[in-house]
Amino acid sequence: MEHLYAPWRAAYFSARSEGCVFCAISQNPQADYDNQVLYRDEHCFVVMNRYPYTPGHFMVIPHHHIDALEGLGSATWHRMAIRAQQGTRLLKEHFGAHGVNLGMNLGPSAGAGIAEHLHLHLVPRFERDTNFITTVSQARVNGVAFEAIYDRLLEGVKAHFEPVD
């Protein structure tokens, strides 16, 4: 059996802190820029993934600490779906993505890295991208600084995310 390594994720495994990282972000709106929060409303927030699969990868996360989709309130799930639609439009129209993968890993057995607080991933995809080379090699291709991507998406949020009644 061959072993593939992902050394850029070492900080993810060693950076575990007390409590839920998503709850800490949810409860500290004054630190939104430092935490790369793109948008928040009363049900959920949109935040950059610090260990992205591709540039522009972000997540929609409910404020409510819950690990089971089936236990999530319908109003929150509906709001998350709206933010996913708006986020998809943002990635395509403002960020230039050719496609978007949406996904949730529900529970550790499903691959969730932070299983205690559910979250929905939006992963932009580009024709001829090489960012999934990490599945077959020890390389990560990322041509733009994380902070520059955050700033670009944050600017686009103003045009693509609308309040919901």
Q: What angle do CA 59, 33, 6 make, to 5 degrees?
A: 50
Q: How far apart are CA 152 and CA 81, in angstroms?
A: 22
Q: How far apart are CA 66 and CA 28, in angstroms?
A: 18
- CA torsion, points 150, 52, 31, 154, in degrees to nearest 10? 20
Indicate the pairing of strand 37-40 with strand 44-48: antiparallel
pLDDT (tens, 9 = 90+) of the chain, 165 residues, equals: 444 455 555 555 555 567 999 999 999 999 999 999 999 999 999 999 998 888 899 999 999 999 999 999 999 999 999 999 999 999 999 999 999 999 999 999 998 889 999 999 999 998 876 555 555 555 555 667 878 888 888 888 888 888 776
Q: What is the pTM of this model?
A: 0.79
Top-tier CATH class for 21-160: alpha beta
- Residue 43 designated active-site: no
The residue from 43, 57, 117, 119 that is catalytic is 119
**Per-residue confidence (pLDDT) for residue 3, from 0 to 100:** 46
Give the start-to-end residue ranges of the domains of the chain: 21-160
**Per-residue confidence (pLDDT) for residue 13, from 0 to 100:** 53
